Amino acid sequence: ETGVTQTPRHLVMGMTNKKSLKCEQHLGHNAMYWYKQSAKKPLELMFVYNFKEQTENNSVPSRFSPECPNSSHLFLHLHTLQPEDSALYLCASSLVTAPSGRGTYNEQFFGPGTRLTVL
């Protein structure tokens, strides 16, 4: 596998379900990101992990719970979602050149995304 991979590619879930999205990067990067992309809206940054530490949480509802066990893997755990959470969820990774605090974030490489539909 090369680049950034995401599974599953498509997910349909009910509002009471619990599911997880998985992302894996094979680029030797040290920062990973979750984005939400809804139709005709800018990419919304949800979470940032820099050197496995969560450095940003952009007021995301608690029904989304990220997990970063190591610098190559990132999960997004989903529970009791709402229909308006239906969107394309994109994972990205990049190389951060300063490990402490807010460093210099370089170009991000995206995975193929998970198309989520909440019924």
Partner 1 sequence: QKEVEQNSGPLSVPEGAIASLNCTYSDRGSQSFFWYRQYSGKSPELIMFIYSNGDKEDGRFTAQLNKASQYVSLLIRDSQPSDSATYLCAVQNNDMRFGAGTRLTVKP
Residue ranges that bind partner 1, judged by CB under 8 A: 33, 40-43, 45, 48, 56, 90, 102-113
DSSP 3-state of 113: coil
- Amino acid (1-letter code) at residue 117: T
Closer CB to partner 1, residue 80 or residue 108? 108
- Closest to 74 in 3D by CA, of 96, 112, 103, 47: 47
Closer CB to partner 1, residue 17 or residue 112? 112
- Amino acid (1-letter code) at residue 116: L
Closer CB to partner 1, residue 28 or residue 42? 42
Minimum Å gap between C-beta 41 and partner 1 is 6
CB 3, CB 25: distance < 8 Å: yes
Minimum Å gap between C-beta 29 and partner 1 is 13
